[in-house]
Chains A and B, each alone.
Chain A
Amino acid sequence: SPQVIWDTLGNRQFCSYKITTKTQNFCRNEYNLTGLCNRSSCPLANSQYATVREEKGRCYLYMKTIERAPFPRRLWERVLLSKNYEKALEEIDENLIYWPRFIRHKCKQRFTKITQYLIRIRKLTLKRQRKLVPLRRKIERREKRREEKALVAAQLDNAIEKELLERLKQDTYGDIYNFPIHAFDKALQQQDVESESESDAEKEEDEDVDKREFVEADDSELSDFEDMDKLETSSEEEQEEEEEVEKVSHSKSKGKTPLKGPGRRKRPYIEIEYEEETEPATKSK
């Protein structure tokens, strides 16, 4: 009898469908109406019992009566409920007429819940679903490690700085940044190269000029004594001038370095003689 069943299985001894937790007992039996392990909800301990279950989106009412207790195969009677919610509720009422209030109520509650979750499923399948991709731990760890090593190998700050400096050198920034030292150095280096070639050329020219002047002086000795003196001195001075020009150009090429001693010493000489000289030099030429 159901009372005996409950006394043994439900309350005291082992029931394989029973799950105990700290606060509550659950029943894993698939025909259970509420899911809890109670005297009134246990399908084993009640000879008259009913449940609502759904299969493939359709809801069925399962009923168990005491007349069929010895026939386990025919124990549960199944009734298909209509798709219409209200009609299905009426069908439940019809089938469970004269049944205990508890079972009727719980059946209707369960049916309501089932329809609600079926609606939800149908709505969700229309939307995009999140595809869960399982991570493989070994691979994740490997990737993470490789990323760290790549970060160390990349030396990002250095790379960025190098790239920016290169862009500065290649003048992509135009005139925004004035770094005179750099440009000046460059220009001076260029001047150095040019001035060396110039000074070579000057030296050659000077030699020619000297030669010419010597020749002229020889010629003019006969003509004018004053001129001869001036020309001789002019030749010397021009030599000095050439030297001085070279020195000046060199000092210019060295840029910021102040004119050194010999340059300074030469200056007073040069200024005076230069002024005197240019007029006769131009005249003689």
Chain B
Amino acid sequence: AGDGSGQPGSAAEGGGPPAPQRVLFPPTFSVSEIKNKQRRHFMFLRWKQQQRKEKLAAKKKRRKEREALGDKAPPKAIPKTIENQRVYDETTVDPNDEEVAFDEATDEFAPYFNRQTVPKILITTSDRPRGRTVRFCEQLSTVLPNSHVYYRRGLALKRIIPQCIARDFTDLIVINEDRNIPNGLLLSHLPDGPTAHFRMSSVRLRKEIKRKGKEPTEHAPEVILNNFTTRLGHSIGRMFASLFPHDPQFTGRQVATFHNQRDYIFFRFHRYIFKSEKKVGIQELGPRFTLKLRSLQKGTFDSKFGEYEWIHKRREMDTSRRKFHL
């Protein structure tokens, strides 16, 4: 069988113009040219084992060399991660950038950050919410202080927005539901602020989290915003920050985290305790979910005539695995 499989290989090589430089001793064959599936599979496994052995041997050799060199050994190579290899985004915010600071002083969140407005949030759902969504809304309202849940009775968003503004609400959250699970979140800053539409996934209610902590109390939580580097990320981060009251009550020891990783925003709500000055323990309470930004629109919700600042276009934006936008 070895000879038989050797023949097609050598025939392939002999078939070309006889080039004496390219003759291989002994005549090899590639595993993929064997017609018999069982045999091919067997040869492939054998080849794989051989590769593995070689790799192991190379590793050992390298380790020995490193030990032999001792201090003079070259430093260990840093492994490549997706975050390391991320395509540099030109809109990354530099902390000292004046233009960004100026923009932020004059954008829609300036009144919040100047302490002129107090956040008041309205949470609602799409039509006919089912039990899971309703419970999620309730839990969300315990996380966000000064928030109210209202049942949506088939009202159009464009009609309720002026009413909300009249009643001094600063933010509107609409949780879209499909087939009994919440799957979308629309966050609109009210006095003509930007509207962000997210896709929401892996929602866990409080009872589904393995933590056994008590309910979140009424204290204002702290906010942690991680990894919002680009301009877009910055504005989304400010949007999240404006949901919470300015002064967190540290006695409550609660913290809400929005962590951005590879364009997915993970939301967690914890209670922390400092066991010593080098060690802190955290206990998860409250719902958790992940968000992925779909679009950011300049004014309040207006899908037809609104001016979109950013829309996720799959064909253009998902081409590279190392490029992230937030």
Contacts and interface: CB of A to CB of B under 8 A. Distances in A.
Interface of A: 127-128, 130, 139, 143-144, 146-147, 149-151, 153-154, 156-157, 159-161, 163-165, 167-168, 173-174, 176-177, 179, 181-182
* Secondary structure call for the B interface: strand
Given A154-B261, A156-B257, A163 B226 contact: yes
A38 to B, nearest CB: 39
Contacts of B268: 156, 160
Contacts of A160: 224, 255, 257, 259, 268, 270, 272, 282
Nearest to A163: B224
A143 B198 CA distance: 14
Interface stretch (B5-13, B93-101, B164-172, B273-281): B273-281
Interface residues of B, number: 33
B246 to A, nearest CB: 13
14 contacts: A128-B154, A150-B261, A150-B263, A150-B264, A151-B290, A156-B257, A156-B259, A160-B255, A160-B270, A161-B280, A163-B257, A164-B272, A165-B280, A174-B250
A146 B257 contact: no
Contacts of A127: 154
B85 interface: no
A176 B250 contact: yes
B117 interface: no
Contacts of A146: 262, 264
Closest 8 pairs between A and B when the two form their complex, measured CB to CB: A179-B277, A182-B277, A154-B261, A150-B262, A150-B261, A150-B264, A164-B280, A161-B280
Interface in B155-203: 156, 201-202
Contact of B282 (A154, A157, A176): A157
B320 interface: no
B314 A177 contact: no
B240 interface: no
A151 B267 CA distance: 11
A161 B277 CA distance: 12
Contact of B314 (A139, A157, A161, A164): A139
Given A127-B154, A128-B156, A153-B262, A147 B290 contact: yes
Contacts of B226: 159, 163
B82 interface: yes
Contacts of A149: 262
Contact of A153 (B81, B224, B314): B81
B257 to A, nearest CB: 5
Given A160-B224, A165-B280, 13 more contacts: A143-B201, A150-B266, A153-B261, A154-B259, A156-B259, A157-B282, A160-B282, A163-B226, A164-B224, A164-B272, A164-B280, A168-B277, A179-B276
A143 B262 CA distance: 11
B54 interface: no
B298 interface: no
A155 to B, nearest CB: 9
